[in-house]
Amino acid sequence: MPRRSAIVASAIALMLAPAAVAACGGDDDSASTTSSGTNAAQGEQLHKGVTLTLWTMPNSPKPKEDLQKMVEPFTAKTGVKVDVQEVGWDVQFDRIRNAAVSGEGPDITQAGTTQVPFFAALGGFLDLSDRVDEIGGADAYADGIWKTTQVEGQDGTWAIPWFTEARSIYYRKDVLEKAGIDPATAFTDLEAFRTTLQTIKEKVPDIEPFGAPGKKAFDLVHNVMPFVWDNGGAELSPDAKQATINSPEAQEGVEFMAGLIQDGLFDKSQLERDGTQVENQFKGGRLAVWIGGPWVLGSIGREEDDTWVPEARENVGVAPMPTGPGGKGYTFVGGSDLMIFKHTKHPDEAWALVKFLSEDQTQKDYAELLGMFPARLDPQQQVGQSSENHQAFFEAIQSGRTYAPIPQWGQIENAYKTRFGNILDSAAGVGKDYSEATVKAELDAAAKEADGLLAQSAG
């Protein structure tokens, strides 16, 4: 009878069993890595014939092959081979966590920027502080991006930014023209943003003005937070000790987004889709305005991407996110970093590979392949100059914001995601009746849950 719960229990136990073993073995490893770590800085005495294992997530159409090709020059130059392994986004969190606590895993892994503090807190990764000067340190990166390599209240640099994305407004130039709206002023501030959607609704009835995914999207919080920031709200207090998502400012931001649904400007049927599905709705010509990352810009030129309809493909415009009442416009900046495992037997070679992946040309080539932006300022700027739309993204990245780098952020983000999802659902008429009190109650619940998560401790 308890068969199924036993499966869950055994899954938990089996998944974590290596952790206990690793906890004993971990210390020896770290001792050996620090000793070999010192001679690393001295120069490029790399062992030829060493094979590094690198975990990557599905970033590009052929993730493994694309990256394998990208590191060929590195192998040619150093003699260090790289075995690229692909780990799906659906399992990467579990697998990196297990590798970190068990000591069984690759040498280097890609990690989402908001995951870095959690992984770093597990203790399974190398502190790269002594080495980062070799690649220009913090100065070589935009502030919001460098912040993703740190852990709040702790010394150390746990990751190196690899590639970057930020969210901007995508719009259909032809639809704006039909509606008689000037793109230059269409999205300048929140009021203009709403008016633009209203005008599209009235003048171009055969297209939905705006759409965004609901609670199925892994990045729902990234879509909502810019409106909260614009209104002067924040996810946590500046010292990251307390949730502030239920402040009046934050509530105003959430209500702005929910209000778009209430006013019929936000196609509510998009709420049952995930991020990629809504993206395809914009590409498929069903949405006039949508908020998304730079990869969509990159896919315009790809003939084989048949999710685009011609009228959408040929009329893409990009605008920076609107500014709020405070006069500043925020957007979420994210992407992926590279982390070196503490248990690696080849820290010097691993660092050499990270350095290679941080070179201007590699950064540009790989980012272009992904439709992302390079993580480093110089190549970023060069990509920004390539077109007007790219320039909008470059600017977005510079003013981009990310969340407090604390280990519990991932959990807090999940809690917020749940509540934001409930609020959007109720605005769409499929949850509790929508009112200011409903929003307040959901945000209070989100803050309460987040405070509970912040209070977790090791003791």
Partner 1 sequence: MAQTTLQSPPEAGSARALPTRAGRPRRRRTLFAYWLIAPAVAFMVLVHLVPTAGGVLLSFKRLNTFTFARLFDAPWAGLENYRSILFDTANPLRDGFFGAVQNTAVYTFWTVSGTLAGGLAIALLLNRQMRGIRLIRTLMLTPWIVPSFVVAVLWQFMWQSDVGIVNKVLVDYTHLLSERPIWLLGENSMWAIIIPSVWRGLPFAMIFFLAGLQAMPPELHEAAAIDGAGPFRRFRYITLPLLRPLIAVQLLFGVIYAAYQFAIPYIMLGSNPGPDADLMMTLIYRQSFSNNLFGFGAAASVLLMAAMCVWVAIWYRAFKRDLEVT
Interface residues toward partner 1, by CB under 8 A: 1-6, 8-10, 12-14, 16-17, 19-20, 23, 93-94, 101, 118, 121-123, 214-216, 268-269, 271-274, 407-408, 410-411, 414-415, 417-418, 421-422, 425, 428-431, 445, 448-449, 452-453, 456-459
* C-beta of 112 vs 317, nearer to partner 1: 112
* C-beta of 16 vs 41, nearer to partner 1: 16
* C-beta of 23 vs 41, nearer to partner 1: 23
Shortest distance, position 342 Cβ to partner 1, whole Å: 13
* C-beta of 37 vs 407, nearer to partner 1: 407
Shortest distance, position 361 Cβ to partner 1, whole Å: 38
State the CB neighbour count (10 A cutoff) for residue 4: 8
Helix residue ranges, H only, 87-133: 89-102, 116-122
Shortest distance, position 276 Cβ to partner 1, whole Å: 13
* C-beta of 5 vs 38, nearer to partner 1: 5
For residues 267 and 270, give the distance between their C-alpha atoms in angstroms, rounded to a whole number.
6
For residues 407 and 152, give the distance between their C-alpha atoms in angstroms, rounded to a whole number.
9
Shortest distance, position 278 Cβ to partner 1, whole Å: 12
Shortest distance, position 442 Cβ to partner 1, whole Å: 10
Helix axes 63-70, 360-370, angle to 10 degrees: 160
State the CB neighbour count (10 A cutoff) for residue 246: 21
For residues 104 and 300, give the distance between their C-alpha atoms in angstroms, rounded to a whole number.
40
CA angle 189, 194, 197 (to 5 degrees): 125
* C-beta of 149 vs 422, nearer to partner 1: 422
For residues 169 and 222, give the distance between their C-alpha atoms in angstroms, rounded to a whole number.
13
Helix residue ranges, H only, 325-431: 347-357, 360-370, 377-384, 388-398, 409-427
Token couple for 131? 């080495």
Shortest distance, position 211 Cβ to partner 1, whole Å: 10
State the CB neighbour count (10 A cutoff) for residue 48: 10
**Residues whose CB falls within 8 Å of the CB of residue 135, separated by 6 or more in sequence, listed in order:** 160, 355, 358
Shortest distance, position 451 Cβ to partner 1, whole Å: 8
* C-beta of 20 vs 41, nearer to partner 1: 20
* C-beta of 79 vs 88, nearer to partner 1: 88
State the CB neighbour count (10 A cutoff) for residue 66: 16
* C-beta of 259 vs 452, nearer to partner 1: 452
Shortest distance, position 456 Cβ to partner 1, whole Å: 4
Shortest distance, position 134 Cβ to partner 1, whole Å: 31
For residues 71 and 77, give the distance between their C-alpha atoms in angstroms, rounded to a whole number.
10
Going by C-alpha positions, the residue among 328, 292, 327 that lies closest to residue 307 is 292
SS3 381: helix
Sheet holding 168-172, edge to edge: 208-210, 287-292, 168-172, 316-319
